[in-house]
Structure 1
Amino acid sequence: MSTRYFAGKLVAQNYAIYRPSYPDSVFTLCINFLKNGVSNEVNKFPFAVDVGCGTGHQSTAPLAKYFDSVLGIDISKEQIAEAKKSEHPENVNFKVSAGEALPVGNETVSLLQVAAAAHCMDIVQVYKEADRVLTPGGVVALFSYSTAPETSNHPKSAEIDPILKEIADRPEERGFFVPGNYMVKRRYTDECFQIPYADKTRIDNILHPITNTVEDFVQFHKTLSRFRKMEEAEPDLTKQWMEDATARLLNALETTDMSSEFTYNLEVHMLLGRKPHQPK
């Protein structure tokens, strides 16, 4: 079953505020792969499902322009409540559901997408559900971003990047990684993630540039499950360390203002697979 890392109203609210969306290139890759499986020109596909959608802005809403209808599902009722409150296109809807038991009919889905959530689920069961709900030629897409932020072309990169890495790596060093965190770190190369279709591809190193304030960068990392575990287990130590790391980051950026912006990159890794047009 799906692991409930993101339950709780405050967690969902912070997720909505601080979690970054994905770059347009990620969705373009999904749609182009989907289009490659059809013989005629298609402007819009009928139906997409975004599994583990969170609060909806990160990966669900961007699909709206490609589909007649989009459904975002998440096992967390708090995440879905935030998603429903958010501004989103009229053809996007949200529902509480586990990824292992999708609330849609057989062969109705053109694209089944799982963004930064597959490592929290029983991926074997998710793939079984994907095979049930995908139309012939439909596509399943899994992607997530790396846990190693780096600045690009910043004059102080040599000073900034080690601090960003320290912030990203701290939960692992303190022993708060769970198996799913290591799956992300290995970029979904584990055997269980390999899509069980012959027509499939893997794409690595998709650049994900993010411009954040220092405050947003810190709060984004605090939304990650591994950081929340660390804060709960070691509240005083984590608070002191984060304050120190933040002060050093501000110093490296030559500012004292938490609202100062800087740009860093994450890298997205993606798996794409197409359901056969003919039964196996």
Structure 2
Amino acid sequence: MGTRYFADKQGAQNYAIYRPSYPDSVFASCINFLKNGATNEVNKFPFAVDVGCGTGHQSTVPLAKYFDSVLGIDISKEQISEAKKSKHPENVDFKVSAGEALPVENETVSLLQVAAAAHWMDLAKFYKEADRVLTPGGVVALYSYAGAAQTSNHPKSAEIDPILKEIAERPVERGFFVPGNDMVRRRYTDECFQIPYSDKTRIDNIPHPITNTVEDYIKFCKTLSQFRRMEEAEPDLTKQWMEDATSRLLNALETTDMSSQFTYYLEVHMLLGRKPHQPK
């Protein structure tokens, strides 16, 4: 995991506060795929590893009810520090580590998942490491959300959604997307993402509903790597534009209160693959 966009303390704290967790359907998809390949009926699996776990609540903690133990790893010491300080179940632990060199024994991991981080990794090295640590029949899962936020069944969607799209596209227009961001935008369809197991599947367009205040939505956007680069390179221009976009969003929502809530949707895409029960 060679790219570090959330290594500073403030970035890690903002990540912990404003990054949303994933919908239950994402974790259910992982578990169902894992169960479908099990050789006997299993209610709870031994061990899961969440790579690029960030501050833990987004994708690590939700696994706790499905596994005897869960390990979240991230290359950022600050992210892991925030994760360790957070409230989490006793069967969840966190360590600083790269995803291409996992701190676990051979063939011990039932589920190896990467949420919104695979696009920053050396995937050839990661898949080799995945094959080392996964149990026979173990599952590797990569997923992320992509695209502009959209409202649904909101009476003002026609006014709100173009502003949400503008906010999402601004870093692209200003040239602050890097290859990793483009890979997310292409929804992990690049050849390098293709899981090297024959038993694999892809799930697209999983709805990811999020209810936030206007203020928290804007702060969530600012945790995205492309926004961080844009703010660093063009602080005054970005500040002026974001204030204008926020004002127009409030007007579309017919409010002046930054604490007003609204519900928007992102879409999650997933890649799932199963290590063979028998050696190749």
The answer as to 2:25 corresponding to 1:28 is no
TM-score by length of 1: 0.99
Shift, 1:146, TM fit:
1.0
Question: What is the letter of the counterpart of residue 243 of structure 1?
Answer: E
The answer as to 2:129 corresponding to 1:152 is no
Contact 1:214 1:261 (8 Å CA) reproduced: yes
Quote the RMSD (CA, aligned, Å): 0.5
The answer as to 2:235 corresponding to 1:256 is no
Provide the C-alpha distance between the structure 2 equivalents of 1:65 and 1:180, rounded to a whole number of angstroms. 31
Provide the C-alpha distance between the structure 2 equivalents of 1:104 and 1:116, rounded to a whole number of angstroms. 21
Counterpart of 2:263 in 1: which secondary structure?
Answer: strand
Provide the C-alpha distance between the structure 2 equivalents of 1:258 and 1:181, rounded to a whole number of angstroms. 28
Residue of structure 1 in register with 2:75 after alignment: 75
Residue of structure 2 in register with 1:134 after alignment: 134
Provide the C-alpha distance between the structure 2 equivalents of 1:71 and 1:109, rounded to a whole number of angstroms. 10
Question: What is the letter of the counterpart of residue 39 of structure 2?
Answer: S
Residue of structure 2 in register with 1:268 after alignment: 268
Provide the C-alpha distance between the structure 2 equivalents of 1:153 and 1:2, rounded to a whole number of angstroms. 41
Provide the C-alpha distance between the structure 1 equivalents of 2:124 and 2:176, rounded to a whole number of angstroms. 25
Provide the C-alpha distance between the structure 2 equivalents of 1:53 and 1:95, rounded to a whole number of angstroms. 10
Question: What is the letter of the counterpart of residue 196 of structure 2?
Answer: P
Contact 1:2 1:99 (8 Å CA) reproduced: no
Encode CA deviations 1:111-155: one digit per residue, 9 max, x unaligned: 000000000110111111000000000000000001310000000
The 5-angstrom pairing of residues 101-180 of structure 1 reads: 101-180=101-180
The answer as to 2:45 corresponding to 1:45 is yes
Provide the C-alpha distance between the structure 2 equivalents of 1:42 and 1:274, rounded to a whole number of angstroms. 16
Residue of structure 1 in register with 2:221 after alignment: 221
Provide the C-alpha distance between the structure 2 equivalents of 1:2 and 1:59, rounded to a whole number of angstroms. 20
Provide the C-alpha distance between the structure 1 equivalents of 2:270 and 2:189, rounded to a whole number of angstroms. 10
Encode CA deviations 1:40-84: one digit per residue, 9 max, x unaligned: 211110000000000000000000000000000000000000000
Residue of structure 2 in register with 1:240 after alignment: 240
Shift, 1:38, TM fit:
1.0
Counterpart of 1:99 in 2: which secondary structure?
Answer: coil
Shift, 1:2, TM fit:
2.4
Shift, 1:5, TM fit:
1.1
Encode CA deviations 1:3-30: one digit per residue, 9 max, x unaligned: 1111100000000000000000000000
Counterpart of 1:184 in 2: which secondary structure?
Answer: helix
Contact 1:143 1:270 (8 Å CA) reproduced: yes
TM-score by length of 2: 0.99
Moved over 3 A (4+): none
Shift, 1:178, TM fit:
0.2
Residue of structure 1 in register with 2:15 after alignment: 15
Number of residue pairs aligned between Structure 1 and Structure 2: 280
Contact 1:2 1:100 (8 Å CA) reproduced: no
Counterpart of 1:277 in 2: which secondary structure?
Answer: coil
Provide the C-alpha distance between the structure 2 equivalents of 1:146 and 1:38, rounded to a whole number of angstroms. 31
Residue of structure 2 in register with 1:56 after alignment: 56
Provide the C-alpha distance between the structure 1 equivalents of 2:2 and 2:49, rounded to a whole number of angstroms. 16
Provide the C-alpha distance between the structure 2 equivalents of 1:124 and 1:143, rounded to a whole number of angstroms. 17
Shift, 1:235, TM fit:
0.3
Encode CA deviations 1:64-115: one digit per residue, 9 max, x unaligned: 0000000000000000000000011110000000000000000000000000
Provide the C-alpha distance between the structure 1 equivalents of 2:237 and 2:200, rounded to a whole number of angstroms. 45
Contact 1:210 1:263 (8 Å CA) reproduced: yes
Q: How high is the sequence identity, in percent, across the aligned residues?
A: 86
Question: What is the letter of the counterpart of residue 206 of structure 1?
Answer: I
